[in-house]
Amino acid sequence: MTDSPDTESSRFSNLEVRLAISPEEIDAAQALRYRVFYEGMGAKPSPEMAARKRDFDEFDEHCDHLLVIDNARQENKVIGTYRLIRREAANKCGGFYSRNEYDISPLLEYPGEILELGRSCIDAEYRTGQVMQTLWKGLTAYVFQHDVRLMFGCASLPGIDPKAHALPLSYLYYHHLAPPALLAKALPERYVDMRLLPREAFDPNAAFNDMKLDPRSGSNSLPPLIKGYIRVGGFVGDGAVIDPQWNSVDVFIIVKTDLITSRYIKHYERSNKKDIVLPVE
């Protein structure tokens, strides 16, 4: 049974997007991450994570946690989250999270504020375009507030077999590789060549439109989050990385915020004034 349009509209009217403002809200984000990544996607928790049913690490206490909250829910109100790490927070942790997979030195030299995106997830009951747009409203407001010039982070394809993702990996490398000045590269010991198909083996326009997530195998898939980054002018780094702990094949995403289309900027600037609540520093 599906919701009627009126019911669905009413449901989404209860959503709020803002930064976490208490330890309890950070805990709720970590609980959501555990449900999505460990219970839903097969990531392997540490014994402490499994006991607490929370996804956590040393970055959580220093970064900002962007939340989508369903105020109509009695429990598990946090239904979407992003983890946001700026230069200052990364310095407190000895560097950005993605340094464990990629050489990001070109990005560290980029002038102005830079932002690492991570731990993006949405509750299984809420995976609609509207919820993702709500999360991105908050992200864009955050970018404007802190004058972020560059966003980056690891994005995942399901499973640990790169050959299962031959089409999306090849497509991303041939058609969205970052320019040299922004080219993060997988660490030598973790580097997996993304060129699994020859360039002439597929039509890029058809490939982008036809790649849909296959929950059974992940083959020929491009998850909606990665598609979203590409649509706003995003690039990828050189090389994929297999992450057994997260049961994923990772690619590196780079987005220059000045490449986001004017349509997105105008839309989110209006939204920022109306319904985005972010603390003022």
Write out pLDDT tens, residues 83-131.
Answer: 999 999 999 999 999 999 999 999 999 999 999 999 999 999 998 888 8
136 part of a folded domain: no
The reply to whether 75 and 100 lie within a common domain is no
281 part of a folded domain: no
Choose the weakest-confidence range: 9-13, 189-193, 216-220.
Answer: 216-220
35 part of a folded domain: yes
> In the chain, pLDDT over 70 holds for what percent of residues?
83
The reply to whether 53 and 104 lie within a common domain is no
The reply to whether 166 and 255 lie within a common domain is yes
Is the per-residue pLDDT at 263 higher than 60?
no
Is the per-residue pLDDT at 81 higher than 90?
yes
The reply to whether 74 and 187 lie within a common domain is no
Is the per-residue pLDDT at 276 higher than 50?
no
Could you list the residue range(s) of the whole structural domain that residue 46 is in?
1-89+120-125
208 pLDDT band, cuts 50/70/90, is confident
Which region, left, alpha or beta, applies to residue 19 given φ > 0 means left and ψ of -120 to 50 means alpha?
A: beta
The reply to whether 104 and 36 lie within a common domain is no
242 part of a folded domain: yes
List the CATH number of the domain containing 46.
3.40.630.30
Number of Cβ within a 10 Å radius of residue 268? 21
1 part of a folded domain: yes
pLDDT at position 220:
60
24/154 Cα distance (integer angstroms): 26
7 part of a folded domain: yes
- pLDDT per residue as tens digits for the range 161-192: 999 999 999 999 999 999 999 999 999 999 99
Burial (Cβ within 10 Å: 0-12, 13-18, ≥19) of residue 160? middle
Contact 68, 81 (CB under 8 A): yes
The reply to whether 71 and 102 lie within a common domain is no
The residues that bridge with 166 in the sheet, in sequence order, are none
Whether the CA torsion 156, 82, 14, 23 is positive or negative: it is positive
142 part of a folded domain: no
The reply to whether 104 and 51 lie within a common domain is no
Count up the domains in the chain and report the number: 2
Which region, left, alpha or beta, applies to residue 239 given φ > 0 means left and ψ of -120 to 50 means alpha?
A: left
